[in-house]
Structure 1
Amino acid sequence: MGTAEGIALDRITLSHGDLKFGALACGLTKNAGRPLVLCLHGFPDTAHSFALLLPALAAAGYRAVAPMMRGYEPSSQPMDGDYGLTTLARDVIGWADDLGEKQVHLVGHDWGAAVSYLAGAMAPDRFYSLSTLAVPHAARFADGIKAVPGQLIKSWYMTFFQLRGLADWVVERNDWALVKRLWKAWSPGYDLAPQDWAVMRDVFAAPGVKSAMLAYYRQNASPAVMFGLKKTEASALTCVPVPTLAITGADDGCIDTRLYDHLFRKEDFPKGFKVERIAGAGHFAHLENPEMVNALVLDWLARN
């Protein structure tokens, strides 16, 4: 993935409660006093997927930080095993507090997008804007299944991950072949570089990380939740009163881009929303077309 703009990535540590989160950062010193942008990664991924966005944000005068999400390091794995969406959203607010910021911009991809919507719903006064990638309004996902039933086929892995023991074994079998298969299926036009895969594999293979990654799905994406049969605290929070940009890849093999036509409602986004569909890009649009994604995000931040 490399870096952009000739700006180096720094490594810092964030705290929330008793947990420690490694993070990549750009512009914290050079752009002191300027707005902060937190970038949240998803699955199967790490904070390193923002290596092309962070320097662009810093070059535009922002301070940019991409934390490793809860559970992706031994130091951020909670004793109680809580990976619920509301807990993940509270991590975001905790990171902002740790960095001394009352209000920040959020950029979220995949699970990071789902967490961003919820954080904006829970504490809208803490966020200038949201920019989400690859996942539409998470609290409305059950409605999306009804509108685009073909999404069930694309979401097969969510059900598979509920199979304790079997899924745990399969996901890392043959050098994490299933994970590499998901990357290829979700972004058919993107070839993951060997050095980038090596970074991810090292993260996934660390103690406790595999269980944490699967726990995201077991605690937040069971069939009962997916079909709207089980109401959760997160699914009840549908109103996101924060200006929201939603970016979808037209060729996303994970999340059907047509969901975006059904899951964004004016009443859910009273501060406004904008959907941008990127032709030729899949689930990892910020890596497949970083120039366009970076420009869209920077424009949205400047407007808000």
Structure 2
Amino acid sequence: MIEALEIPTEAGTFDALSCGETGGREVMFLHGFPEAAIEWEFQLDALGGGGCHAVAPDQRGYSPGVRPEQVLDYRLDELVGDVAAIADELGWQRFDLVGHDWGAQVSWAAAAAMPERIRTLTAVSHPHPTAFLRALTEDEDQAQRSHYFELLRRPRVAERLLLADGATALRQIFEWKIPEERVDDYVDRFTQPGAMTAALNWYRAMHHAGPTAAVTVPTLYVWSTEDTAIGSTAAMATERYVTGPYRFEMLEDISHWIPEQAPEALTRLIMEHLLAHRT
């Protein structure tokens, strides 16, 4: 059974969802934008019921208890620091890390920064950051796909646009690919005071990030052919930035919202990856 959890750290208290007994194989799930830990409901239940201790935090800015106001507080190194702090509080010395969208961006950086702690990495949708940045500057298709970044970085303008008229624009981001009640849940979260600005500050802090090194830990990267945010150029180039064991899986006819649109397929891939790398 999935349970709510509070995880205190020096940065503040993170809300989280947990499933499975303490002592099981430790797996942390990181959500993307504009979502929350609940996007991993299916995976938490499956892995928690299969001998793992699975935990998904609402990340910095998404947890009301960790919602700083300054853009610089959302730099990638701060987000990676949160991963380490959450693991420390849970008592996890080594753990498997799974991330989607922005959660994958953080997961790539965390795996590069602390390979001694990350047993395996599963990145969903978002490619290795260096592959993505190169595609962003060299590939016209990716530049067009990411054009919305500039809008999301505009203070107050993006908040008004996304939340106007019952959050119509925010709802449209999901492309009608996930259940309406889940979208309602996300919209409710982002209409809370300060929540939308905090989430958008991740985009506004992007240019403060340094380069991400190659990843040495066993890595599974899952990309989908109907992803409107991430094109094939960055997806195919990601293997260049993984020096450890690497597996690439492409899901046909699935959108960017893999964890919720194709939960069974993704969970099977995650489980196979964990079983292949037990130590």
So what's the TM-score if we normalise by structure 2? 0.94
Partner of 2:189: 203
Q: Distance in 1 between matches of 2:118 and 2:237?
A: 25
> Contact 2:121–2:217 at 8 Å: present in 1 too?
yes
* DSSP 3-state at the match of 1:264: helix
- Deviation of 1:263 after TM superposition, in Å, equals 3.0
The answer as to 2:58 corresponding to 1:83 is: no
Q: Distance in 1 between matches of 2:236 and 2:219?
A: 15
Deviation digits for residues 84-134 of structure 1 (CA, Å, limit 9, x no counterpart): 111001100111100001111000000000000000111110110000111
Q: Distance in 2 between matches of 1:293 and 1:10?
A: 22
> Contact 1:74–1:206 at 8 Å: present in 2 too?
no
* DSSP 3-state at the match of 1:125: coil
Q: 1:110 aligns with which of 68, 81, 101?
A: 101
* DSSP 3-state at the match of 1:44: coil
Identity %: 29
The answer as to 2:273 corresponding to 1:283 is: no
* DSSP 3-state at the match of 1:53: helix
> Contact 2:136–2:146 at 8 Å: present in 1 too?
no
Q: Distance in 2 between matches of 1:236 and 1:162?
A: 20
- Deviation of 1:59 after TM superposition, in Å, equals 2.2
Partner of 1:171: 162
Deviation digits for residues 166-220 of structure 1 (CA, Å, limit 9, x no counterpart): 2221111112111112111xxx6x2x32321221112111121111111000101
Partner of 2:38: 48
Partner of 2:229: 254
Letter in 1 for 2:33: F
The answer as to 2:212 corresponding to 1:237 is: yes
Q: 1:139 aligns with which of 92, 107, 130?
A: 130
* DSSP 3-state at the match of 1:15: strand
The answer as to 2:262 corresponding to 1:297 is: no
* DSSP 3-state at the match of 1:262: helix
Q: Distance in 1 between matches of 2:152 and 2:244?
A: 36
The answer as to 2:56 corresponding to 1:66 is: yes
Q: Decide whether aligned partners of structure 1 residues 257 and 288 sit closer, same or farther in structure 2, where only a CA change above 3 A counts.
A: farther
Q: Distance in 1 between matches of 2:239 and 2:111?
A: 15
* DSSP 3-state at the match of 1:270: coil
What is the root-mean-square deviation of aligned Cα atoms in Å?
1.5
Q: Distance in 2 between matches of 1:80 and 1:290?
A: 35
Q: Distance in 1 between matches of 2:252 and 2:76?
A: 30
Q: Distance in 2 between matches of 1:302 and 1:239?
A: 23
Q: Which runs of 5+ in 1 are unaligned?
A: 1-7, 226-231
Q: Distance in 2 between matches of 1:10 and 1:126?
A: 25
Partner of 1:21: 14
> Contact 1:281–1:288 at 8 Å: present in 2 too?
yes
- Deviation of 1:10 after TM superposition, in Å, equals 0.3
Letter in 1 for 2:109: L
Letter in 2 for 1:273: Y
The residue correspondences of 1:155-166 to structure 2 (distance < 5 A) are: 155-166=146-157
So what's the TM-score if we normalise by structure 1? 0.87
Q: Which runs of 5+ in 2 are unaligned?
A: none
> Contact 1:36–1:105 at 8 Å: present in 2 too?
yes
Partner of 2:23: 33
